[in-house]
Amino acid sequence: MESESKRKKESPNTAELAVTASFPDEVLEIVLSLLTSHRDRSSVSLVCKDWYRAERWSRTQVFIGNCYSVSPEILTRRFPNIRSVTLKGKPRFSDFNLVPPNWGADIHAWLVAFAAKYPFLEELRLKRMAVSDESLEFLASNFPNFKLLSLLSCDGFSTDGLAAIATHCKNLTELDIQENGIEDSSGSWLSCFPESFTSLEVLNFANLTSEVNTDALERLVSRCKSLKVLKVNKSISLEQLQRLLVRAPQLEELGTGSFLQDLTARPYADLESAFNNCKNIHTLSGLWEAVPLYLPALYNSCANLTFLNLSYTALQSGEFAKLVVHCPRLRRLWVLDTVEDKGLEAVGSNCPLLEELRVFPADPFDEEIIHGVTEEGFVAVSFGCRRLHYVLYFCRQMTNAAVATIVQNCPNFTHFRLCIMTPGLPDYLTNEPMDEAFGAVVKTCSKLQRLSVSGLLTDLTFEYIGKYAKNLETLSVAFAGRSDRGMQCVLEGCPKLRKLEIRDCPFGNEALLSGLEKYESMRSLWMSACNVTMNACRRLAKQMPRLNVEVMKEDGSDDSQADKVYIYRTVAGPRRDAPPSVLTL
């Protein structure tokens, strides 16, 4: 299918390209087809025209981090043989309701282009895109080889769209629906998989709420012998789960349904034995409303677990500690802060291989809880888990000294996302800003790629970041800084910066305009509730035609203020589908 017939060969230049001319294009393409990393491919395409051409013919996967940076036409023109597309749409702050609805990022135009140019498309992975039922139906009907659909944080569709996928995609291997704004009217979509359909390997509908037909699910699971990942939703009871496990002992990733049910002794024993029989499970999630009584059924399965996601399960420190004792091979752990510092101490003691820890707040708005987790829990983990390199930690208090200790123990952080939940909170012991904490992070962790800062921060934090964070790609800032200088330090200092998102900081026009050329080397910049004016944005837009400068105004705000600014590089020009609340300058 590598369409040699379509290729237009240019006559090779002789002298200079004697070396490459002796290297037939076909061979070059085969060699390049072994390259999978997008960065490598991008580098390769810049070497010379022949390599650019060979690369574009041999590329089968494309990743587009900002759907507006390029248009469907440009994409399909450059790459004729794409089988797998990953697209990300809205700015990340849309997760927190900071982006107006109907902002854009609609998949449909892309699908139409793909139907014409990539009829053999197999995989589509979307994040923060607007997806309608019509689009899903279109997808289901126009791509006979379609295999993989992954929708993460998308919105605009309903379970009817899923029904279309289930009905028509005969070769589907993966259906992964996570954390979407989906209108969940009924679980009947699951029953739409035909009885002849057996190819499913991944099924994740954990975040849907409607009940599905459990008989249909059981039959589906029974006949899909290659099913490796099954994540069911809350409506599936423990007894139903047991029946599913019995039919799929080959499972590698399991998301349970509700872990709450009145089980008598016999069904409990069956459940335990079903878990014991699934010897390949390395990832476990779900456990909605888990009652500690039934957790021991999991103990044997925990021995091989590498990823445990308890972020929807409110376990307290004691019962969590008992569970974690059985998980010595854990590499990734997501929990709620109900486990408290004591629970995290147990993690430190029992999980020496831990690489990633995420601690979410169970009750983020309740001022009366002064527990949850503190700096002590984090420190305890750092002593026991020296391989830790990814952390997302929500807490209510922190100290500079604790963070310094943590990074001393774990200098290999690549992702350090610390969220002290009260904005602008200082070190609670010394009452000083948290500058030294993040200073320690960037000084010690040379591999740092992603950083989220919080607490009371002056410009010093940003001086540190600009000076030391040479590998930083993503920075998230909120309620921090003192002056334009802060943002300037970052823009001038971090050579690999790609995404900068800022909210509620005293950075203004001078800071914004200090990054002119920088923005073209970045994916995007988000600034909201800062001190940026419309005029400055206009100036920026005028000077940098290859950037799209979009401003979102809020009700009742000053006309001259640019409340929310989203700036991104693009080769597609200003977008034409912006809603009225978004102004493109």
Partner 1 sequence: MQGGIGLLGVGGGGGGGCNGNESGVSKVVESDDDELELGLGLSLGGVGGGGKGKVVSSWGECGRILTAKDFPSAGRRPSNASSSSPPVAVSGTKRAANSVPREGESSPPSASQVVGWPPIGAYRMNSLVNQAKAPISEEEKVADEKDKSKDASKKKICNGNKTNNIFSEKAHLGFVKVNMDGVPIGRKVDLNAHASYESLAQTLEEMFFASTPAINSIGGEKDLATKAFKLLDGLSEFVLTYEDKEGDWMLVGDVPWRMFISSVKRLRIMRTSEANGLGPRFQPRNDRQRAKPV
Quick check: 560 and 534 in contact, CB under 8 A? Answer: yes
Determine if 328 is a binding residue for partner 1 (CB under 8 A).
no
Measured from the CB atom, the residue of 38 and 470 that comes closer to partner 1 is 38
Which residue in the block uniquely carries the two structure tokens 């600014």? 565
What is the H or E stretch that residue 555 is in? none
Determine if 260 is a binding residue for partner 1 (CB under 8 A).
yes
User: Measured on CA atoms in the order 464, 467, 471, 474, is the torsion positive or negative?
Assistant: positive
Measured from the CB atom, the residue of 141 and 369 that comes closer to partner 1 is 369
d(CA 453, CA 316): 28
CA angle 419, 421, 528 (to 5 degrees): 75
- Per rule CB under 8 A, count of chain residues that contact partner 1: 166
d(CA 562, CA 336): 37
Select from 552, 481, 556, 461 the least CA-distant residue to 100. 552
- Only segment of 114-122, 190-198, 377-385, 568-576 that touches partner 1 (CB under 8 A): 568-576
Residues 99-138 that bind partner 1 (CB under 8 A): 99-103, 125, 127-128
Among 122, 253, 355, 484, binds partner 1 (CB under 8 A): 253
Determine if 566 is a binding residue for partner 1 (CB under 8 A).
no
Measured from the CB atom, the residue of 195 and 559 that comes closer to partner 1 is 559
Determine if 312 is a binding residue for partner 1 (CB under 8 A).
yes
What does the H/E/C string look like for 207-274?
A: CCCCCECHHHHHHHHHHCCCCCEEECCCCCCHHHHHHHHHHCCCCCEEECCECCCCCCHHHHHHHHHH
Determine if 572 is a binding residue for partner 1 (CB under 8 A).
yes
Determine if 393 is a binding residue for partner 1 (CB under 8 A).
no
Determine if 533 is a binding residue for partner 1 (CB under 8 A).
no
User: Could you tell me the smallest distance in angstroms from the CB atom of residue 303 to partner 1?
Assistant: 18
Query: In terms of C-beta distances under 8 Å and separation of at least 24 residues, what long-range contacts does 320-329 make, across chains too?
Result: 320/346, 321/345, 321/346, 322/295, 323/295, 323/298, 323/299, 324/350, 324/351, 325/350, 326/298, 326/299, 326/300, 326/302, 327/302, 327/303, 327/351, 328/303, 328/352, 328/353, 329/303, 329/304, 329/305, 329/353
Determine if 74 is a binding residue for partner 1 (CB under 8 A).
yes
User: Could you tell me the smallest distance in angstroms from the CB atom of residue 195 to partner 1?
Assistant: 25
Determine if 479 is a binding residue for partner 1 (CB under 8 A).
yes
Question: x/- site string to partner 1, residues 454 to 473, per CB under 8 A?
Answer: --x-----------------
Quick check: 504 and 529 in contact, CB under 8 A? Answer: yes
Half-sphere exposure of 213 (CA within 13 A, CB side): 10
Q: At what angle do helices 400-409 and 375-384 cross, to 10 degrees?
A: 10
Determine if 311 is a binding residue for partner 1 (CB under 8 A).
yes
Question: x/- site string to partner 1, residues 490 to 509, per CB under 8 A?
Answer: -------------xxxx---
User: Could you tell me the smallest distance in angstroms from the CB atom of residue 408 to partner 1?
Assistant: 25
Measured from the CB atom, the residue of 180 and 488 that comes closer to partner 1 is 180
Q: In angstroms, how far is CA 539 from the centroid of its own chain?
A: 33
Determine if 184 is a binding residue for partner 1 (CB under 8 A).
yes
Determine if 314 is a binding residue for partner 1 (CB under 8 A).
yes
Three-state SS for 531? strand
Pairing of strands 155-158, 148-152: unpaired
Residues 28-47 that bind partner 1 (CB under 8 A): 37-39, 41-42, 45-46
**Contact residues for 419 (Cβ-Cβ < 8 A; gap 6+):** 392, 393, 394, 395, 452, 454
Residues 187-246 that bind partner 1 (CB under 8 A): 187, 202, 204, 207, 209-211, 229, 231, 234-235, 237
- Only segment of 27-35, 192-200, 401-409, 574-582 that touches partner 1 (CB under 8 A): 574-582
Measured from the CB atom, the residue of 141 and 482 that comes closer to partner 1 is 482
Query: In terms of C-beta distances under 8 Å and separation of at least 24 residues, what long-range contacts does 47-52 make, across chains too?
Result: 48/17, 48/20, 49/10, 50/12, 50/17, 50/20, 50/25, 51/20
Measured from the CB atom, the residue of 362 and 406 that comes closer to partner 1 is 362
d(CA 126, CA 449): 23
Determine if 408 is a binding residue for partner 1 (CB under 8 A).
no
Determine if 292 is a binding residue for partner 1 (CB under 8 A).
yes
User: Could you tell me the smallest distance in angstroms from the CB atom of residue 284 to partner 1?
Assistant: 10
Measured from the CB atom, the residue of 214 and 444 that comes closer to partner 1 is 214
Measured from the CB atom, the residue of 194 and 579 that comes closer to partner 1 is 579
Among 5, 11, 431, 560, binds partner 1 (CB under 8 A): 431
Determine if 581 is a binding residue for partner 1 (CB under 8 A).
yes
Determine if 484 is a binding residue for partner 1 (CB under 8 A).
no
Q: At what angle do helices 49-58 and 25-33 cross, to 10 degrees?
A: 60
Which tokens hold the place of 326? 């059985």
Among 13, 185, 408, 535, binds partner 1 (CB under 8 A): 185
User: Could you tell me the smallest distance in angstroms from the CB atom of residue 367 to partner 1?
Assistant: 6
Determine if 10 is a binding residue for partner 1 (CB under 8 A).
no
Among 220, 398, 425, 434, binds partner 1 (CB under 8 A): 425
Determine if 17 is a binding residue for partner 1 (CB under 8 A).
no
d(CA 544, CA 521): 12
Measured from the CB atom, the residue of 74 and 409 that comes closer to partner 1 is 74
